[in-house]
Chains A and B, each alone.
Chain A
Amino acid sequence: MRKKSPWIYVPFWIVISFLTLFPIYWLFVISVKPAVDLFTTPDILLTSFYWDNYTEVLNDRLLRSYMVNSLIISSGNAVLCTTLGFFACYALSRFNMSGKESIFFWTITNRMAPPAVFLLPLFLLMTQVYRFGDFTLLDTRIGMILVYCTFNLPFAIWTLRPTVDGIPRELDEAAYVDGASPWKVITEVVFPLCRPGLAVTLILTWVFAWNEYLLAATLTNFNARTLTTGLSEYVTTTGTEWGIMAAISIFTLIPALIVFGMVQKHIVAGLTFGAVKG
């Protein structure tokens, strides 16, 4: 490879970063403008800040409970999917069960389903079939945690498989020879080595669950409503409360940003989608 001064890349990256950040910047611009200013000729630079959208959002108790719901649902779902996905990948990687590759492919087909039409059967199942006395899964956090598994669990399995495959079997076998139980092998040998992959899976499933909208909008009405549905209340019911919508959007970005920032360095190591050898 030719050697160039490393600084020549910097202007290029500044341009790319500008393009990447612009829509997010624009979201912020909208959030600090009064509604009337949105319909004037747009100006690329901010000249004044109008914080009322934020005060309104912060004083909205409903939105605060939506935020709590979103945090519980996406964290619960991410932990559940990563845990189940990890055990599933261990089984797929270490055992010679017949048809396991078909099962591996079958899991991902659950992510391909066009979501709109599956809302109705999920609604019916959650109200009429999966009920325990008076308790139904509809509009509960646990219900949403389970529903989100349909798209996140396959993703977790497909992201984790190469990580688990990449851990040499000899390590397991040596531990078995020493008399360790399967549980001990998984928790004390395989699990620690999979940490980067698990971190990435956890984070991406968390972000997918945090950002989901269509299912949450149909399968919750009050108790388990999430932040993205709260967002749409401002978009659809009153026409265009763009400023408040943008302020809520900024709030939905912050937790995602924090969570994402925590695992930046793991992300490249863990994100290989079943393709690259470990």
Chain B
Amino acid sequence: MQSNKLGWLFLAPTILVLFLFGVLPFIYVLWVSFHQWNPFAANPNMIFNWADNYRAVVFDAQFLASLGATVAFVFFAVVTEVIIGYFLAQAFMGDFPGKAFFRTIHTLPLIVAPIIVGSVWKLMTTPSIGIIPHLLDNWFGLNLNIGTSALAAFTVTVVMDVWHWTPLVTLTLIAALVSLPADPFEQAQIDGAGPRQIFWHITLPMIAPALVATVFIRLMDALRTVDEVLMLTGGGPGSATRYVGVHIFKEVFPRTNYGYGSAISVIVLYLTIVVCWMLYTGLLAPRKGKEG
């Protein structure tokens, strides 16, 4: 085996780039988060105020509401994506005419920029000019108004996220399913196991690592969603879809509340890392260790 110096040499450029553009900005954000700083306030200077920002964040009803909405959004979006993604991946395992064609079509949403996704869903769902409220009203007599109904706005953001990101889940799960060995399935069928037993006792445990990794990436990205939701609802109506990414954006941009926005970011980043670390160590790392 080569000396570890060579390994560090190969890692060095990565560490350098991520340090310059990831760690240094983070240290700056951390530093700002301990200051009261709003360049357009009566006193535009940075004033060191210890943990006042953090204390304010913890008791900020708007932030807590936003965190709650985010958890609901991430939960419904990711769970739906995983369920639909699994069934589509399983369906892609069979052979049928035009499979490659349908798979290509199914991956198309992935290449649409989030800001475009937000725009087109806004145009499709805006009351009176959007096609979806129009059809729902014509066919089912339903009234979908994302401008006034919090539930409607929430649902549309979830549906939009599901539309945009289910293909990623499907692709990952296809990759996992393709690589499964056939023996355990044949053995289980010989032993007379039903489809449900096979799913719970064989398929699920075997694809669990891929499933967790997918949830991990989706969770991370859904938590920091900004462009799509900002474009679609602007966080409204009221603050129904003001997810943490959007909340931070609004604190930092229109209100230029840098100190406060930084404190929220640090807390959100910390929570994300903790959740992902638990998922990673609890479900992925042990398996890696076993395989050497």
**Proximity bits, A1-23, B CB within 8 Å = 1, else 0:** 00000110110110011011101
Interface members, chain B 127-143 (any A CB < 8 Å): 129-131, 134-135
Q: Does B110 contact A (CB under 8 A)?
A: yes
**A17-B102 in contact (CB<8A):** yes
* Shortest Cβ gap from B230 to chain A (Å): 9
Out of A117, A130, A276, which one reaches B248, CB within 8 Å?
Answer: A117
Whether a CB of chain A sits under 8 angstroms from the CB of B98 is: yes
Which residue of B107, B179, B262 contacts A267 across the interface (Cβ within 8 Å)?
B107
* Segment at the A interface, from B43-51, B56-64, B145-153, B218-226: B218-226
Chain B residue contacts of A267, Cβ below 8 A: 107, 171
Task: Indicate which residue in A9, A125, A246, A268 contacts B175 across the interface (CB closer than 8 Å).
Answer: A268
Count of B residues near A, CB < 8 Å?
Answer: 101
Contacts of B265 in A (CB 8 A): 113-114, 116-118
Q: In the complex, A42 Cα to B171 Cα: how many Å? A: 34
Chain B contact surface mostly:
helix
Asked if residues A10 and B98 are in contact (CB atoms below 8 Å), the reply is yes
Whether the pair A121, B88 counts as a contact (CB closer than 8 A) is: no
A275, B210: Cβ atoms closer than 8 Å: yes
Give per-residue flags for B2-41: 1 if the beta carbon is below 8 A from chain A beta carbons, else 0.
Answer: 1010111111011101101110111011001000000000
- With both beta carbons as reference points, the residue of chain B lying nearest to A86 in the complex is identified as B10
Nearest residue in B to A120 (C-beta to C-beta)? Answer: B258
Closest to A43 in B: B131
Interface check B96, CB cutoff 8 A: yes
A50-58, A61-69, A150-158: which lies at the interface: A150-158
State whether A112 touches B14 (Cβ < 8 A).
Answer: no
Q: Report B104-131 CB contacts with A as 1/0, cut-off 8 Å.
A: 1111111111111101110110000111
Whether the pair B107, A252 counts as a contact (CB closer than 8 A) is no
Given A130-B20, A147-B21, A150-B18: A231 and B6 interface contact (C-beta under 8 Å): no
A112 close to B249 (CB less than 8 A)? no
Beyond the given A88-B11, A92-B7, A116-B265, could you list 13 further A-B residue pairs with CB under 8 A, ordered by the A residue number? A27-B116, A42-B131, A106-B18, A114-B269, A117-B258, A124-B28, A150-B22, A228-B116, A231-B113, A231-B116, A264-B103, A272-B176, A275-B176
